[in-house]
A and B are shown apart, each in its own frame.
Chain A
Amino acid sequence: MKNLWISLKFTLVMCVVLTIGYVLILRLTAAVASPNDGEAPMVELNGKIVGAANVGQQFTDDRYFWGRPSAVDYNGGASGGSNKGTNNPEYLAEVEARIEVFLEAHPYLERKDVPAEMVTASGSGLDPDISPRGAEVQIRRVAEARGMSEDQVRKIVEKTIQKPWLGLFGTYKVNVLKLNIALDEAQKLAIE
């Protein structure tokens, strides 16, 4: 009985200690030092918020670079992966269908040029990035749809490529949303 009494008091005291000594300190740090006051960092176009920098979104328009397939259609309220096994025939048929769609949209590509990450679903369903190769293969389609030259688009892609941490550790990546915003901005400038 004595132990049960201590348990109750200990649990309540821990709630207080952790709230003050941990949660509040982190919340205050977030208010001072995080990119967006503790909320998901947002990106804007023409002063309007168009998405969270780290949360991928659906792109289907030819004028935009596309992200990776998502098992949850980029629903930021319910993340999820496909959880398909590597040998599942149903899954392999799905990948095959995605390859065909991708080739149809990019008729200038050969099958062996289709990067696997563009036809396989990400873990979270919200992957904000594609690989530099995944961007490279889309350049011609985007340039044609926008009436820009491939070189112009390629320059923007190259500017958007993010290097691994300290240039040494991890992967090269391109944030799809930021790339598409950069394109919209570049074209707007050109029109003005």
Chain B
Amino acid sequence: MNTEILGVILQWAALVALSYPLGRYIAKVYKGERTWLDFMAPVERRIYKLCGIHPDEEMNWKQFLKALLTVNVFWFIWGMVLLVCQGWLPLNPDGNGGQSPDLAFNTTISFMVNCNLQHYSGESGLTYFTQLFVIMLFQFVTAACGMAALAGVMKALVAKTTKTIGNFWVFLTKSVTRILMPLSLLVGILLVVNGTPMSFDGKQTIETLEGHEQVISQGPTAAIVSIKQLGTNGGGYFGTNSSHPLENPNAFTNILECCSILILPMAMVWAVGFYIRRRKLAAWIFGVMLFAFTVGVCVSVSQEMGGNPQIDEMGIEQDLGSMEGKEIRIGSGASALWGMATTVTSNGSVNSMHDSQTPLSGMLQMLNMQINCWFGGVGVGWMNYFTFLIIAVFISGLMVGRTPEFLGKKVEAREMKIATLVVLMHPFLILIGAGISSAVAAIHPEIGWLNNPSFHGLSEMLYEYTSAAANNGSGFEGLADNTPFWNISTGIALIMGRYFPIVGQVAIAGLLASKKYVPESAGTLKTDTFTFSLMTFVVIIIVAALSFFPALALGPIADYLSC
């Protein structure tokens, strides 16, 4: 069998197999049960003491959200100040300057919301100091923030009737010390051994074999690459992310990095199942997500390995598939798999240029982000699915004439209003943004944003807002996006796309938690069945996917049909 396809199958199988035990471990961490990383406990106590956190203090959902939003506001100030001033700060051997205020605004927001849309290029737009203490720091703490939110939601769902949903600061700390840091260390060590740089020396200039001068950028790459993958961050160290041969040196590191994208979002689904003691429900949710992901992978892999029909028409040999924007050591199959993995989660790192992938692959990447809950970002992905579950419960309840209940709690008008707003916000942000920018680009074609004409040009803009609202961070990078218009408009989409859903979802969970527990009876709508899973899937397709169909028809579908 083709070794490229074998590589794809290996990654898929490894992910499914590893996510289950990891999910069990994560549930234990948030429950405070014994794990083999208990030697971290003294470190955590030290952190609580230094920060003035009282680990036993329980918060209600409003206090929980207040803590979450405050720390995010603080991170915003932290990031803005450091990025604008980076030129004067230490660890800057290449003498890179500070970022402009609008670029710093976009960069800070995008890392603060765990998105990592990058309108700068890593080699010249940052210093080693900001790479570590803005980029890497945010990649840890904002991923932890999403996980902490989910931990609060889990705690709310498992309790019979409760006012409190746990301590935000404790969840935040434990997400770093027990989950993100140990895993990143493991992945980082494997990367370093395989030749990903990890040093603090500046650029090197060498004379090539033919006698030209070549500059080689390096730095503390491995520290950022491992957490960018594991925390569904995606912000690369180098401009071209994981297609860069120093960031992703060989087939093994590619498999490792690609699996790191999906492992935590997948494990989170199981973790919820273990935590709320509903493993069957978790298995059905996992099944729906895996099904949607796998269909996308099959289509995209066959498209990319099949090659670009326009190149075929030129009469040359295209045995390796569509190779524009792809690397030989990775190959077209693994590039297609990565494209799907990075968009079903809100990761957004790339190992090939999505702008140059075939139109249907590009469409599926956008669709994954537009739906944004096939695994999704760490923590927040499951919560997006949870919103759809609430809607599906409500709709099916109405259809069969039963009171809509989820996990023994009645779903009522207030929760439904929040869920509906959260779900509709996403298409609103994307379509309005893409609409305004297309109007501007059509009226002023001389503005020079687009790298490609016609349908694909529209796709470039649609992709950018989709990626921003979904907090993904990948892009059709041909778009000239480091301008005030794009920096600010996507910055707004980023903020709305992150905090609106988190606040809404934690609120729903908090509201449900405070309600009276209704024991299951024969009249309860069962949520851990095939029928209900199918129902949820259909709701997601109708609500999320179909909102975008007209836009997709004008972009990638028209692009596909015109070749």
Contacts and interface: CB of A to CB of B under 8 A. Distances in A.
B356 A52 contact: no
A7 to B, nearest CB: 4
Contacts of B74: 4, 7-8, 11
A124 B71 contact: no
A133 to B, nearest CB: 7
B327 A129 contact: yes
Contact of B71 (A3, A37, A64): A3
A66 B424 CA distance: 52
Contact of B245 (A58, A77, A84, A126): A126
A160 interface: no
Given A23-B132, A30-B192, A57-B214, A122 B328 contact: yes
B50 to A, nearest CB: 5
A118 B220 CA distance: 32
Question: Interface size class for chain B?
Answer: 35 or more
A11 B137 contact: yes
Contact of A30 (B67, B75, B222, B452): B222
A11 B195 contact: no
B432 interface: no
Nearest to A4: B70
A79 B244 contact: yes
Given A13-B50, A14-B141, A25-B185, A81 B243 contact: yes
Contacts of A85: 355-356, 359, 451-452, 456, 459, 478, 559
A151 to B, nearest CB: 23
Contacts, number: 379
Nearest to A36: B195
A26 B216 CA distance: 21
Given A39-B197, A51-B209, A57-B209, A164 B452 contact: no
Contact of B353 (A15, A36, A39, A123): A123
Q: Which of A23, A76, A128, A184 has the most CB of B within 10 A?
A: A76
B317 A21 contact: no
A165 B251 contact: yes
Contacts of A39: 197, 199, 201, 204, 218
A40 B246 contact: yes
A86 B244 contact: no
A8 B75 CA distance: 9
Contacts of A84: 324-325, 355-356, 451-452, 478
A123 B325 contact: yes
A27 B327 contact: no
Nearest to B326: A123
Given A50-B207, A87-B563, A116-B318, A35 B195 contact: yes
B329 interface: yes
A5 B74 CA distance: 9
A50 B206 contact: yes
A33 B476 CA distance: 37
Interface in B181-223: 181, 184-185, 188-189, 192-193, 195, 197-201, 203-204, 206-210, 212, 214-218, 220, 222-223
B233 interface: no
30 contacts: A8-B74, A17-B181, A21-B185, A22-B184, A23-B132, A29-B193, A30-B222, A52-B216, A52-B246, A58-B208, A59-B210, A83-B353, A83-B478, A84-B478, A85-B478, A86-B308, A86-B322, A87-B359, A91-B452, A116-B323, A117-B328, A123-B327, A124-B244, A124-B245, A127-B327, A129-B329, A165-B7, A169-B7, A171-B331, A181-B209
Given A52-B216, A57-B208, A87-B559, 20 more contacts: A6-B53, A6-B169, A11-B78, A33-B189, A40-B195, A52-B246, A59-B210, A74-B214, A81-B324, A83-B477, A86-B563, A88-B456, A114-B317, A122-B325, A123-B353, A127-B329, A134-B328, A167-B3, A171-B320, A171-B329
